[in-house]
A and B are shown apart, each in its own frame.
Chain A
Amino acid sequence: MSIGCIYALVALGFVLIYKATEVVNFAQGELMMLGAFLAYTFISILGWNYWAGAAAAIFCMFFVGNFVDRIFLRPVLGQPQFSIVMVTIGFGYMARSAAGMVPGWGTETYAISTPFSSEGMSLVPESVGSLVISQTDLSVIIATIILCAVLYAFFTHTRLGVAMQASSQNQLAAYYMGIPVKAVFSMIWGISAAVAAAAGILLAPTTLIDTSMGFIGLKAFPAAVLGGFGSIPGAVVGGLIIGIIETLAGFYLPPGFKNVAAYVVLLVVLVVRPQGLFGQKTGKRV
Chain B
Amino acid sequence: MRFLFKTDYDQDIRIAKHSGYYWSYGLLLLIVFAAPFFLEGYYIGQMTQLYIIAMAGVGLMLLAGYTGLVSLGHAAFFGIGAYTEAVLTSNGVPLPFMDEPVVFPFFLSMPLAAIFAALAGVAIGVPVLRLTGIYLAIATFAFALVIEEILSRWESVTNGYTGLLVESLYVGDLELTDGAPFYFLCLGLLILVLLMSINLLRSPTGRAMMAIRDSEISAQSMGVNLARVKTTAFALSAGVTGLAGALFAHKLGFLSPESFTVFQSLELLVLVVVGGIGSLHGAIFGAIFVLALPQGLAILKDYLPTSIAETPGMEPFIFGLILVLVIIFEPYGIYGRWLKIKHYFQMFPVYKKATFKRQKAYMKSERLK
- Which A residues form the contact surface with B (CB < 8 A)? 22, 24, 72, 75-79, 81-83, 85-87, 89-94, 96-98, 100-101, 107, 169-171, 211, 218, 221-222, 225, 229, 256, 259-260, 263-264, 266-267, 270-271, 274, 282-286
Contact = CB atoms under 8 A, between A and B. Distances in A.
25 contacts: A22-B365, A77-B361, A82-B137, A86-B323, A89-B266, A90-B323, A90-B327, A92-B320, A93-B317, A93-B319, A94-B324, A96-B313, A97-B312, A97-B314, A97-B320, A101-B311, A101-B312, A211-B313, A218-B141, A221-B142, A267-B139, A267-B142, A271-B127, A271-B128, A274-B130
A73 to B, nearest CB: 10
A76 B138 contact: no
B368 A285 contact: yes
Interface stretch (B37-45, B213-221, B248-256): B213-221
Contacts of B317: 93-94, 97-98, 101
Contacts of A282: 367-369
B288 interface: no
Given A81-B134, A97-B312, 11 more contacts: A24-B134, A82-B133, A83-B327, A90-B320, A94-B320, A97-B313, A97-B315, A97-B320, A98-B317, A100-B311, A101-B312
Contacts of A171: 363, 365
Given A90-B327, A94-B317, A171-B363, A266 B132 contact: no
Contacts, number: 156
B70 A82 contact: yes
B316 interface: yes
A285 B149 contact: no
A118 B180 CA distance: 61
Nearest to B272: A86
> What DSSP secondary structure best describes chain A's contact surface?
helix
B35 interface: no
Chain A CB within 10 Å, residue with most, of B127, B131, B139, B217 = B139
Given A83-B327, A96-B313, A100-B313, A263 B145 contact: yes
Contact of B273 (A81, A86, A270): A86
Interface in B342-369: 360-369
Interface in B184-221: 215-218
B269 interface: yes
B320 A91 contact: yes
Contact of B367 (A72, A218, A285): A285
A39 B114 CA distance: 49
A201 B4 CA distance: 64
Contacts of A211: 313
Contacts of A271: 127-128
Contacts of A256: 149, 152-153
Contacts of A96: 313, 316
Contact of B138 (A98, A100, A266): A266
B328 interface: yes
Interface in B99-116: none
B348 to A, nearest CB: 31
Interface of B: 64, 70, 127-128, 130-135, 137-139, 141-143, 145-146, 149, 152-153, 215-218, 262, 266, 269-270, 273, 311-317, 319-321, 323-324, 327-328, 331, 360-369
A169 B217 CA distance: 23
B142 A263 contact: yes
B362 A87 contact: no
Nearest to B138: A221
A86 B327 contact: yes
B321 A94 contact: yes
B369 to A, nearest CB: 7
Contact of B218 (A22, A89, A170, A286): A286
A78 B359 CA distance: 11
A274 B131 contact: yes
A284 B134 CA distance: 13
B365 A75 contact: no
Nearest to B308: A101
Contacts of B324: 72, 87, 90-91, 94
Contacts of A263: 142-143, 145-146
B365 A87 contact: no
B366 A81 contact: yes
B316 A97 contact: yes
Contact of B146 (A72, A267, A274): A267
Given A83-B331, A266-B142, A284 B217 contact: yes
B149 A270 contact: no
B367 A270 contact: no
